Amino acid sequence: MDPRSPTLDQMQVLLAVVDQGGFAAAARHLGRATSVVSYQIANLEAQLGLALFERAGTRKPRLTEAGAAMVAESRGVASRLDRMLARARGLRAGLETEVALVVDAMLPMAVLAGVFERFRIEFPTVTLRLQVEALGGVVQMVLEGRADLGVTGPLPQVHDNLQGVAAGALRLVPVAAPDHPLARAEGPITAETAREHLQLVLSDRSPLTAGRDFVVLAARNWRLADLGAKHALLLAGIGWGSMPAPLVRDDLAAGRLRRLAIDDWENMLYPLRVVHRAGQAPGPAGLWLAEALRVQDWT
C-alpha cells in the first residue's frame, strides 16, 4: 500500500515527542493524555508504513533512520505553515507582501546589506525587490510606479509627483592608479590639469537627466553604465574618476589606488534623498525601510 497523508496534528505530535524527549513529556507539553499521544504515533506509523521509533530495550523512544527522515520533513511542513500564518497576520494588519526599492548605483552595497538584514528580521514575510540605477534612473522608476521607494542622488529639478526626505550624503574621492600621471603629480592638482586627462564618468540611462553631468571636469571622458566597471578600469590605470569613499577605502589603504589632491574636491559630497510617489505613502514595511535608509551613516 502507498503511504497515506498524515495530518498536521500527527506531525505536531511527532515533533513534540522528539523535542520533549518522550511520550509522557510530549503529552504534558500538548495537554493531552499519554495514551492519546501513543495512539497518534501508532496511527502515523501505520499510515506511513514505517516504524518511526525504536522502542524495544530503551527507556526513551529513539528515532529510527526512517523516523529521523520523517521528522525532518515534518519540520519543513511546520516551518512553511508558520510562514503562511505569519503572512496572513501581516496581511490582516495591512503589511505589504513586497517592497520594491531602487537605489543609486553610488551607494555602497556593504552598508545597504546591514539595513536589508535588519529588514529581513523585522519583516520576515515581506519580499524585498531591489534595483540599482544611476542618477535619474532612480527617480524615473519611482515616478513610473516600478518602485515603491528610491534612494536617489542629486535631483536636477523638483518633481511635483515626488516626495522625499534628505538621507545624508556620500563623500566622493577622486582617485587613479599609482602609475597614472595625476597620481604621480607632486602637490595640489588644478582643475585645468585634471581636464587634460581621460575621466571615467558614470552615465545616466534615464531621459529625466539626460545631458546633465555631476562633477565632470574633463572634456575627454568615457561614459560607463556600471560602477563596478568604472572601479575595474580605475584599478587598471585607464583614466581617473571619483568614487564613493567606502568603495575605495581598502584600495587606498593597500596602495592599489591613490587619492588625487584636485583643487576644491576635498569636501565633495553626493547628497542623497529617500523618495516615493506623492500621495502614495509606503505601507508599514516600506515606512520602516525608508526611515532606516534616512538615518543610515554612509561613510
DSSP assignment of the chain, as one string?
-PPPPPPHHHHHHHHHHHHHTSHHHHHHHHTS-HHHHHHHHHHHHHHHTS--EE-TT-SS-EE-HHHHHHHHHHHHHHHHHHHHHHHHHHHHTT--SEEEEEEETTS-HHHHHHHHHHHHHH-TT-EEEEEEE-THHHHHHHHTTS-SEEEE---SS--TTEEEEEEEEEEEEEEE-TTSHHHH--S-B-HHHHHTS-EEEE----GGGTT--SS---SSEEEES-HHHHHHHHHTTS-BEEEEHHHHHHHHHHTSSEE--BTT-TT-EEEEEEEEETT----HHHHHHHHHHHT----
Task: Look at residue 210 and tell me whether its pLDDT is greater than 60.
Answer: no
Instruction: Find the radius of gyration of the CA atoms of the chain.
Output: 29
Q: How far is CA 196 from CA 199, 214, 234, 242, in A?
A: 9, 18, 16, 16
Q: Is a pLDDT exceeding 70 seen at residue 217?
A: no
**Residue where a domain terminates, one of 92, 121, 138:** 92
Residue 235 has pLDDT above 70, yes or no: yes
CATH of the domain at 127: 3.40.190.10
Distance CA 159, CA 265 (A): 29
Q: Which three cell numbers stand for residue 191?
A: 582643475
50-64: average pLDDT: 81
Q: Return d(Cα 259, Cα 182) in angstroms, integer.
A: 10
Judgement on whether residues 132 and 154 belong to the same structural domain of the protein: yes
pLDDT at residue 299, rounded to an integer: 78
113 and 67, same domain (yes or no)? no
As a whole number, mean pLDDT of residues 50-69 equals: 84
Average confidence (pLDDT) over 11-21? 90
- Please state the domain count of the chain: 3
Same domain, residue pair 178 and 255 = yes
Residue 3 lies in a domain: no
In angstroms, rounded to a whole number, what is the distance separating the alpha carbons of residues 150 and 140? 10
What range defines the domain where residue 83 resides? Answer: 8-92
Q: How many CA atoms lie within 13 A of 93 on its CB side?
A: 12
- Give pLDDT, residue 164: 86
Please give the pLDDT value at position 284: 87
Q: Per the domain annotation, does 278 fall within a domain?
A: yes
pLDDT for 97 equals 85
Whether 23 and 85 share a structural domain: yes
CATH number at 69 reads 1.10.10.10
Residues 255 and 198 in one domain: yes
Pairing of strands 269-277, 162-176: antiparallel
Q: Are 175 and 195 in the same domain?
A: yes
Residue 80 and residue 86: Cα distance in Å, rounded? Answer: 10
Q: What is the mean pLDDT of residues 165-181?
A: 92
Strands 127-133 and 98-104: parallel
Average pLDDT, the chain: 86
- Calculate mean pLDDT across residues 79-104: 78
- Which residue would you say has higher pLDDT here, 49 or 92? 49
169 close to 298: Cβ distance less than 8 angstroms: yes
Q: Do 186 and 53 share a structural domain?
A: no
Please report, for the domain that includes residue 227, its CATH number. 3.40.190.290
pLDDT of res. 101: 96
One domain for residues 76 and 112 = no
Mean pLDDT for 87-112 is 82
Q: At 187, is the pLDDT very low, low, confident or very high (cuts 50, 70, 90)? A: confident
Q: Kindly state whether residues 198 and 227 are assigned to the same domain.
A: yes
- The pLDDT value recorded for residue 227 is 87
**What pLDDT shows up at residue 94?**
67
Which of 297, 270, 272, 292 has its CA nearest to residue 282? Answer: 292
Mean pLDDT across 194-216: 70
Q: Is the pLDDT of residue 74 over 80?
A: yes
Does residue 213 lie within any of the structural domains?
yes
| Residue whose entry in the numeric block shows the C-alpha cell 501505520 | 46
